[in-house]
Amino acid sequence: MVFNWFRRQFSNSESDSQVEQQQSDQIQPSAEPETSESTQEQSPGVSEDLLRYAKAAYKNIQQKQEQAEPEAAPDAGQEPSADVPDTAEVSESPDTLIDTAAETASLEVEDDLAASATSEAIASEPAAEQINHTNAEVEEETTPESAQEVEAIAETGVVIAPEAPEPETESAIAETGVVIAPDSVETQTEEAPPTPVPFWAKEDRQARLERLKATAIEAPEPERVQAPVQPAATAVTEEVPGLAFDEGFMWSAQVLATQGRRAEDVSIEEITWLKRLRQGLDKTRRSLINQLKAIVGQGPLNQDAVMEIEALLLQADVGIEATDYIIKTLQDRLREEVLPPDQAIAYLKKILRDLLDKPIQESYSPTFVPTKDTLNIWLMTGVNGAGKTTTIGKIAHLAQKSGYKCLIGAADTFRAAAVEQVKIWGQRSAVEVIANPGQNTDPAAVVFDAITAAQARGTELLLIDTAGRLQNKKNLMEELGKIRRIVDKKAPNAQIEALLVLDATLGQNGLRQAEVFSQAAKLSGVVLTKLDGTAKGGVALAVVQQLGLPIRFIGAGEGVEDLRPFSSYEFVEALLSG
């Protein structure tokens, strides 16, 4: 079984219908999938399930890495749960904590895995061991350490029960005055101001302990505070080289879980990609979307709010048409009913997703997957420097990994170094490149040769690089038209797609090219590149709304792994999830 990177799921050479069946049979993960109808943000209640899922996914990645490198395998006697990064384990090192939420989140871990990891961590750490006593042991202890503990207990009113968590947790508890039940590490409280030393702290030790025990039993149930959705991974650990079990991992795991991906099918590449996408959209998110969330979350939109949203969307290059659509749809809904902030934001996400998916749903192929055992020809077009050659290299890599027979046609004969550049990408992805060695050769001739070679070899995906051209260069646009006609004529039975590669950093300016390219090459989709580091990520919405073309791939980096099929769900989550 091969993972099909275009379909983003495992498949073999079965027919599409079998593959679709396999998709529907997939077991849903514990996190509630967010359906297109859903207007609810994921409830914090899923955080424990999510943590379990993320840990299973991490462990699976780790095991795969270990299988790939047997010498790095763990000791035979090691408990499996110890392999899994655990917030309780990591929180032994205060330096690794990103914020105090990690400490409180670690208390929320209820599953067996976490509990066992907690106790193992405590057992293996002498300092932590010292707090792992029963009340009776505390009474009997006469060492200076235990005396300090008793003193601390006496001052705070906290009784540390067996299986208590690690020192950080203990101090957090000490501040809050919470009694931890012996078999649970989930009790959670709000932060409370430091408690003044009570009068009984000055009494005889034995009497104090008696009183404490009594108080512990009668202590009122502390108010439970739900941890945020992604709390548990704020502690960073790196059991898999280059892959930290951190907040970004948790977010990525959640996105995959919500889309129905099983934990055992989560790969390091998928996680790394999602982390990169989210990081890439960081600027757009921070400069604009967070403000948008704040306004939308306030309830019905008044005129000021509408103007603010309008300005924010336009700043992110969402474009006038898409902005009008978003505001109108939002207003219609918010006039009907007052939505709490989280639901208003969930609704905003749905609007954006629907907008991005509209041309995909209307198009003949909702997923952009090369058909097996058929010649698929993808013509890559766009202006100079948009990222055509790089994109071809990345798609060739995905095709190779997904088990397609792939070939590249180097028809960018206009720029001297272009053929060499595409050859390097071909080597990187182990895909052969068909090129004409002569200088300034006719690109149409290269295309012809490439199709002939593809047909002779049973190639499944032929990627054709074309010269970057400005849309106002008439002769170059005519040449592109000629290339398209040759493709249509020479391969009438092939599945032909023409993709416009657009540089996201150009924002709205990039869109003006599209119409001319569309006429010359009969465009069927867009590849949006350079989404890393631009504050104009909103241009994706403008592309769809103004061009009516689906986005098929997005690129967020110069590396070979930095391109993936477009998913509106992942994009919107990366754009709006704080």
Ligand X SMILES: Nc1nc2c(ncn2[C@@H]2O[C@H](COP(=O)(O)OP(=O)(O)OP(=O)(O)O)[C@@H](O)[C@H]2O)c(=O)[nH]1
Residues that bind ligand X (CB under 6 A): 382, 384-390, 412, 415, 418, 468, 501, 529-530, 532, 555-558, 562
Residue 194, token pair as written in the block? 């430091």
Rounded to whole angstroms, the Cα distance separating 14 from 526 reads 28
Contacting residues for 240 by C-beta, under 8 A, at least 6 apart: 58, 61, 62, 65, 268
We find the least distance from the C-beta atom of residue 411 to ligand X, in angstroms, to be: 11
Rounded to whole angstroms, the Cα distance separating 167 from 175 reads 12
**Nearest residue (CB) to ligand X, 99 versus 558:** 558
Annotated binding site: 382-389, 465-469, 529-532
H or E element: which one contains 553?
Answer: strand 551-555
We find the least distance from the C-beta atom of residue 556 to ligand X, in angstroms, to be: 6
When CB distances to ligand X are compared, the closest residue is 468
Rounded to whole angstroms, the Cα distance separating 221 from 552 reads 53
Annotated binding site for GTP: 382-389, 465-469, 529-532
Rounded to whole angstroms, the Cα distance separating 437 from 449 reads 12
**Nearest residue (CB) to ligand X, 113 versus 501:** 501
We find the least distance from the C-beta atom of residue 270 to ligand X, in angstroms, to be: 18
Residue 566, token pair as written in the block? 């477009």
**Nearest residue (CB) to ligand X, 369 versus 501:** 501
CB 289, CB 318: distance < 8 Å: no
We find the least distance from the C-beta atom of residue 574 to ligand X, in angstroms, to be: 14
Cβ atoms within 10 A of the Cβ of 511, count?
19
We find the least distance from the C-beta atom of residue 424 to ligand X, in angstroms, to be: 11
We find the least distance from the C-beta atom of residue 565 to ligand X, in angstroms, to be: 14
| Sequence-separated contacts (24+) of 95-99 with Cβ below 8 Å | 96/235, 96/236, 96/237, 97/168, 97/234, 97/235, 98/234, 98/235, 98/236, 98/246, 98/247, 99/234
Sign of CA dihedral 291, 293, 295, 298: negative
**Nearest residue (CB) to ligand X, 497 versus 532:** 532
**Nearest residue (CB) to ligand X, 49 versus 269:** 269
**Nearest residue (CB) to ligand X, 230 versus 381:** 381
Contacting residues for 568 by C-beta, under 8 A, at least 6 apart: 352, 353, 356, 357, 360
Q: Cα angle at 367 between 363 and 372, to 5 degrees?
A: 115
Alpha helices in 281-387 (DSSP H): 282-284, 290-296, 303-315, 320-336, 341-362
We find the least distance from the C-beta atom of residue 273 to ligand X, in angstroms, to be: 12
**Nearest residue (CB) to ligand X, 131 versus 551:** 551
